[in-house]
């Protein structure tokens, strides 16, 4: 999502309170629109099932199947997201837009084959009705494609259109569910089918936009794999962020709060619902990053780096460095303070609202909600620091922070389940977020004090081609693809030759007759 702030800059130039509210509302929809609308769709389908008389067991089964599909698809795509984003960025910078879509097809070929095999193995032993297994598989495949399409669509900068597409699919899914409820055809199968249709339509709309933007396609479908050898830390960084964010939810399915819904599908409603509500507390930081930190920091960042290319004097470089670091510290401090206020607001207001809303929240769940609000707040600030490290291409620092986040969060959550109290569930995630923050902050301080060294001395003077297992895999897949295409081309040519020979024989036979 990097670069959104520059597209929103014009909105924030509008004067007046209404213009400011409109700008922040638009920014919120762009940054978190798909997440918010997706939650509305899932919750809406759940409520419609309840109003239509669907039993508690059926509603819980639908909820856990959707959740498992979401978590599984996000886990698979997390290994590809950052590396693929870097590849797309490099191709756009080099003005080789014709190489973007081939990587889209190659990436999906690998993800769909590898991810589907693992998902099918789980579905074989999951213990639910065969029709539900088919729906889970279809939804998983659609989500894989949709998440990766979002990575590519950030190049379009038409964020409003993306949110409109998602809202349209949301409305379609809810209308279909309403129709089913009106005709009393509500079931787990039918409601699941509504969600699949909604996300399937979204996948088709996003793909249409990609085809309109990236018209010409040339080059290898698997060249992007070489970027895994160039930037291996990016792949693990994306995976560790995903593990840190969601692993504590899955671990709770094996603790004292777990509820076996059916077969291998487990849930922990007393933990899941507070986690979902607490997750929204980080939206303030997400929106503020693209509307404030990125917009005000980037001009200083660009000016500093351009001085090296434009023969700037040492005095100018030092002054630009001082201004850049000063703006960065100021924006990061403001960002942290805003997140602190947001967390306190969620804790205070949420505790009051949950006593009114029929969400089944008891005192234990509210206590977990408060802890998770703190955890997600710390994560939001830490994630901002990690993104700044990526700006400076400190991929090692980003990796160390996310690794600590994932490891500490997982180990502390397991320790809590084995030896801790239910009332303190969520502290493991908070501990992971604190470690994430400390390492990212210390690394950013260390790195920014040595920027000239890392900028001038870290890379080799002569560019060297990086080779590794993924480069070999890319070459093998490209060779295999070339052989397949040559065979297809040969078959087409043989068919054309046979048709031409057949026509010539017919002409000769007519002349002979």
pLDDT digits (tens, 9 = 90+) for 452-471: 888 887 666 666 676 788 88
Locate tokens 């234990």: which residue?
364
From residue 154, alpha-carbon distances to 19, 209, 336 in Å are 25, 11, 26
pLDDT score recorded for residue 486 = 79
Which residues, including other chains, have CB under 8 Å from residue 77's CB and lie 6 or more apart?
A: 111, 144, 147, 148
User: How confident is the model over 296-331, as pLDDT tens digits?
Assistant: 888 888 889 888 888 788 888 889 999 999 999 998
Q: Tell me the sheet residues that pair with 357.
A: none
pLDDT of residue 412: 95
pLDDT digits (tens, 9 = 90+) for 370-411: 999 999 999 999 999 998 999 888 999 999 999 999 999 999
198 in Cβ contact with 41 (< 8 Å)? yes
- Decide if pLDDT at 191 tops 80: yes
Q: Are 90 and 160 in contact (CB under 8 A)?
A: no
What interhelical angle do 56-93 and 100-125 show, nearest 10? 160
Q: Report the C-alpha gap between 357 and 365 in whole angstroms.
A: 13
Contacts of 234 (CB under 8 A, 6+ apart): 82, 83, 86, 395
Angle, to 10 degrees, between the axis of helix 130-153 and the axis of helix 100-125? 160
């Amino acid at each position: 999502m990097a670069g959104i702030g520059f597209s929103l800059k014009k909105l924030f130039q509008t004067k007046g309170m209404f213009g400011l509210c409109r700008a922040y509302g638009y920014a919120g929809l762009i940054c978190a629109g798909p997440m918010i609308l997706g939650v509305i769709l899932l919750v809406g389908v759940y409520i419609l099932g309840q109003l239509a008389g669907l039993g508690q067991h059926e509603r819980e089964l639908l909820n856990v199947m959707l959740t498992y599909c979401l978590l599984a698809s996000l886990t698979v795509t997390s290994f590809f997201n950052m590396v693929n984003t870097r590849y797309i960025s490099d191709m756009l910078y080099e003005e080789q837009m014709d190489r973007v879509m081939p990587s889209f097809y190659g990436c999906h070929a690998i993800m769909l084959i590898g991810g589907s095999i693992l998902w099918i193995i789980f579905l074989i032993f999951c213990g639910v009705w065969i029709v539900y297994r088919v729906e889970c598989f279809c939804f998983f495949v659609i989500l894989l494609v949709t998440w990766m399409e979002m990575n590519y669509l950030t190049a379009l900068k038409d964020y409003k259109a993306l949110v409109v597409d998602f809202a349209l699919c949301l409305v379609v899914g809810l209308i279909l569910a309403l129709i089913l409820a009106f005709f009393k055809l509500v079931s787990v199968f039918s409601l699941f089918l509504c969600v699949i249709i909604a996300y399937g339509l979204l996948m088709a709309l996003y793909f249409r936009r990609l085809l309109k933007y990236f018209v010409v396609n040339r080059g290898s479908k698997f060249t992007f794999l070489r970027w895994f050898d160039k930037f291996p830390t990016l792949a693990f960084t994306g995976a560790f962020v995903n593990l840190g964010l969601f692993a504590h939810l899955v671990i709770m399915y094996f603790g004292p709060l777990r509820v076996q819904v059916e077969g291998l599908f487990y849930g922990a409603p007393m933990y899941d619902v507070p986690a979902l509500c607490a997750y929204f507390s980080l939206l303030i930081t997400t929106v503020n990053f693209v509307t404030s930190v990125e917009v005000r920091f980037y001009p200083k960042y660009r000016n500093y780096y351009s001085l090296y290319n434009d023969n700037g004097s040492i005095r100018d470089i030092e002054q630009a460095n001082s201004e850049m670091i000063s703006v960065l510290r100021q924006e990061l401090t403001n960002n942290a303070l805003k997140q602190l206020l947001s967390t306190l607001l969620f804790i205070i207001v949420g505790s009051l609202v949950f006593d009114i809303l029929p969400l089944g929240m008891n005192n234990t769940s509210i206590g977990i909600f408060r802890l998770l609000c703190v955890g997600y707040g710390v994560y939001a600030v830490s994630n901002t620091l990690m993104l700044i490290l990526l700006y400076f291409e400190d991929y090692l620092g980003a990796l160390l922070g996310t690794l600590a986040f994932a490891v500490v969060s997982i180990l502390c959550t397991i320790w809590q389940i084995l030896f801790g109290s239910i009332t303190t569930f969520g502290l493991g995630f908070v501990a992971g977020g604190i470690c994430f923050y400390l390492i990212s902050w210390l690394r950013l301080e260390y790195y920014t004090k040595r920027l000239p060294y890392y900028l001038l001395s870290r890379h080799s003077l002569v560019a060297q081609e990086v080779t590794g297992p993924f480069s070999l895999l890319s070459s093998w897949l490209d060779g295999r693809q070339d052989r397949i295409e040559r065979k297809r081309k040969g078959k087409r040519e043989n068919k054309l030759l046979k048709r031409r020979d057949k026509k010539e024989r017919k002409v000769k036979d007519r002349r002979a007759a």
